[in-house]
Amino acid sequence: MGVGRFWGWTPIAEIQGRCRLSGAPVSCRACFSILLVKCLFLGICVADNSKPNILLIMADDLGIGDVGCYGNDTLRTPNIDRLAKEGIQLSQHLSAAPLCTPSRAAFLTGRHAFRSGKWHQGVNCEFRTDHCHHPLNHGFDYFYGMPFTLINDCQINKPPEVDAAFRAKLWVYTQVIVLGMLTLTTGKLAGLISVSWKILMCLITLSFLFFISWYSSFGFIRYWNCILMRNYEITEQPMVLERTATLMLKEAISFITRNKHRPFLLFVSLLHVHIPLVTTKQFLGKSKHGLYGDNVEEMDWVVGKILNAIEQEGLKNTTFIYFTSDHGGHLEAREGNVQLGGSNGIYKGGKGMGGWEGGIRVPGIFRWPGVLPAGEVIDEPTSLMDIYPTVVHLGGGEMPHDRVIDGHNLIPLLQGTVKHSDHHFLFHYCGIHLHAARWHQKDSNKVWKVHYKTPNFHPEGAGACYGRGVCPCSGEHVTYHDPPLLFDLSRDPSETSPLSPDTEPFYHTVIERVTEAIVEHQKTFHPVSQQFSTNNIMWKPWLQPCCGMFPFCSCDKEGDNGHTAL
């Protein structure tokens, strides 16, 4: 099941009143903050009993073409489809970025991730147990999940994912050094080399230190990275992925049961359908699309169990539910010739591919019986950044006035009191690089899309960056378009036919208007510290969470909990 991402946090909003979630009421100054390492369930506060419960469910790497209500007729997603039938489905719902970290940061803050700059990595700041970036120190009452990123290394017998190419080079260097040391030692013993034993021992020691320096980090990634926490306590190190889905689901249902008598906010950030696609035996081989399809159908089952818990506790009519994905499907996810990534339907591109629609157009489904209409589809541009101001509104809070918020409250649009989204322009970034922008021309109901940069697919014409994991955001592997590419998404949602002055009489007008909007948008930027320096991303042993005595970190406090039937 899902493990989402929790990162460091800075106070964003203050919900008026006292928080009533789990345990005693607490001050609720920091109900949302910045996201950047992986977690799962973040319970947040709502002002009083007149407010709804709020349940946010986010899938990981799910393509919009993987869901039945968005056109897939070969994968079974009855629970997500039922959610759409009983609520509202957005057909132009967009992530703020085509990659996990910036998309989720924007989701939790209501603003582009580059505005915050410092996306905290890890849990600690100065020492192993200070928990400075932990959600409990940033407004949350309860946490259960994975504080780091889910990767292939978390599953035994899977090929390595973290810096795999670099690791392969280090192994080659190590083998060359070992061969060199063996040659020198043999030569010394045979009297063929006159080097002193002292120098030889120094070289062997340096070689050993070289090996230890990199293997202590890369060789134990499963132990360092793949851990499960409940609040401040590590419960599994390393995680047993085969039972994680059940543990996460049980925790979500337990949270709902414990808090059914008072308003709550529960954020369930699913592990599904991110690789390594760990799927329980119940669903293996059941779909028409291999392991990925099995994982999608298991995800839908998990969603159904959570919805059932809401309904069994009598909370259906008092719970605002939202389902989405952090971005489009990961087309490059493969193992040999087996595709492990999803489908983005008719849309071009996918995860990590700048502004192409397939990487940023995601499912967006809302349900709140009696308050929101049922069975409706809204074809207006909306964003994951809209969820933060929407939740603040539902919680009776006030939006912060000391920063730029890029999202808008969706309730008027969802209830039908307005016809159009508040977004005139949306800007699509790959990292800190602006790749594209769209203009919702409301008087004509057209949606124009302008591309300034696009990734170079590999091999050429392949539709993805195979062999590279994800597409680069800048540099030699990106095409810079001058003049930019222009598409009319209202007629060409697949972005197959770029317009020109010869084919579109308003070409220059649109380009000029979007350019003006970008200039105004960029005036709102303020310098911020960036995270991805070498010092920030390097592994620091003294900050490594550890169950036991470092470096012998290992524990399993979940026991057989993950095998209990649900």
Whether residue 174 is contained in a domain is answered as yes
Query: Structure pTM?
Result: 0.87
- Residue written as tokens 């036991």? 548
**11 upstream amide cis, omega within 30 of 0:** no
The CA distance from 389 to 405, in Å, is 8
Could you give the percent of the chain with pLDDT greater than 70?
Answer: 88
Amino acid (1-letter code) at residue 518: I
Whether residue 239 is contained in a domain is answered as yes
Is the Cβ–Cβ distance between 7 and 133 less than 8 Å?
A: yes
Query: What is the domain extent for residue 332?
Result: 53-149+228-423+529-556
What is the per-residue pLDDT for 34? 27
What is the per-residue pLDDT for 133? 86
Q: Which residues contact 399 (CB under 8 A, 6 or more apart)?
A: 13, 389, 392, 405
- Write out the two tokens for 503: 């084919």
Last residue of some domain: 199, 218, 237? Answer: 218
- Write out the two tokens for 540: 């620091």
Q: Tell whether 211 and 235 lie within a shared domain.
A: no
225 has pLDDT over 70: yes
Q: How many helices (H) and strands (E) does the chain have?
A: 13, 21
Q: Tell whether 212 and 236 lie within a shared domain.
A: no
Q: Tell whether 332 and 243 lie within a shared domain.
A: yes
Whether residue 48 is contained in a domain is answered as no
What is the per-residue pLDDT for 155? 87
Q: Tell whether 195 and 264 lie within a shared domain.
A: no
Q: Which residues contact 559 (CB under 8 A, 6 or more apart)?
A: none
* Active-site residue, 120 included: yes
Distance, C-alpha 84 to centroid of its chain: 22
Closest CA to 469 of 320, 273, 184, 275: 275
* Active-site residue, 100 included: yes
What is the per-residue pLDDT for 448? 98
Amino acid (1-letter code) at residue 469: G
Q: Tell whether 187 and 293 lie within a shared domain.
A: no
Taking each helix axis from N to C end, the angle separating 197-218 and 164-189, rounded to the nearest 10 degrees, works out to 160
What is the per-residue pLDDT for 327? 97
29 has pLDDT over 50: no
Q: Tell whether 320 and 241 lie within a shared domain.
A: yes
Mean pLDDT of all residues in the chain?
Answer: 87
What is the per-residue pLDDT for 562? 55
Among candidate residues 100, 226, 465, 547, the one labeled active-site is: 100
- Write out the two tokens for 23: 């345990």
Q: Tell whether 379 and 240 lie within a shared domain.
A: yes
Q: Tell whether 140 and 256 lie within a shared domain.
A: yes
Angle at 278 between CA 40 and CA 34, to 5 degrees: 25
Whether residue 523 is contained in a domain is answered as no
- Name the band, by pLDDT with cuts 50, 70 and 90, for residue 560: low
Last residue of some domain: 218, 236, 256? Answer: 218
Question: pLDDT tens digits for 453-476?
Answer: 999 999 888 899 998 888 999 999
What is the per-residue pLDDT for 565? 52
Amino acid (1-letter code) at residue 334: R
Whether residue 286 is contained in a domain is answered as yes
What is the per-residue pLDDT for 483? 95
Question: pLDDT tens digits for 334-357?
Answer: 888 888 999 999 999 999 999 999
Whether residue 432 is contained in a domain is answered as no
- Name the band, by pLDDT with cuts 50, 70 and 90, for residue 284: very high
Q: Tell whether 419 and 270 lie within a shared domain.
A: yes
- Residue ranges with strand state E in 168-326: 228-230, 233-237, 265-269, 319-325
Mark 534-562 as b/e (b = at least 16 C-beta within 10 Å): eeeeeeeeebbbbbeeeeebebeebeeeb
Q: Tell whether 179 and 74 lie within a shared domain.
A: no
Is the Cβ–Cβ distance between 217 and 134 less than 8 Å?
A: no
Last residue of some domain: 178, 194, 218? Answer: 218
- How many other C-beta atoms are found inside a 10 Å radius of the C-beta of residue 279? 25
**493 upstream amide cis, omega within 30 of 0:** no
Q: Tell whether 212 and 234 lie within a shared domain.
A: no
* H or E stretch covering 44: strand 41-44
Whether residue 201 is contained in a domain is answered as yes
Q: Tell whether 256 and 369 lie within a shared domain.
A: yes
Q: How many domains does the chain have?
A: 2
- Name the band, by pLDDT with cuts 50, 70 and 90, for residue 559: confident
Q: Which CATH number goes with the domain that contains 352?
A: 3.40.720.10
Among candidate residues 93, 112, 120, 330, the one labeled active-site is: 120
Q: Which of 161-165, 294-298, 507-511 has the lowest mean pLDDT?
A: 161-165
The CA distance from 340 to 334, in Å, is 5
Whether residue 452 is contained in a domain is answered as no
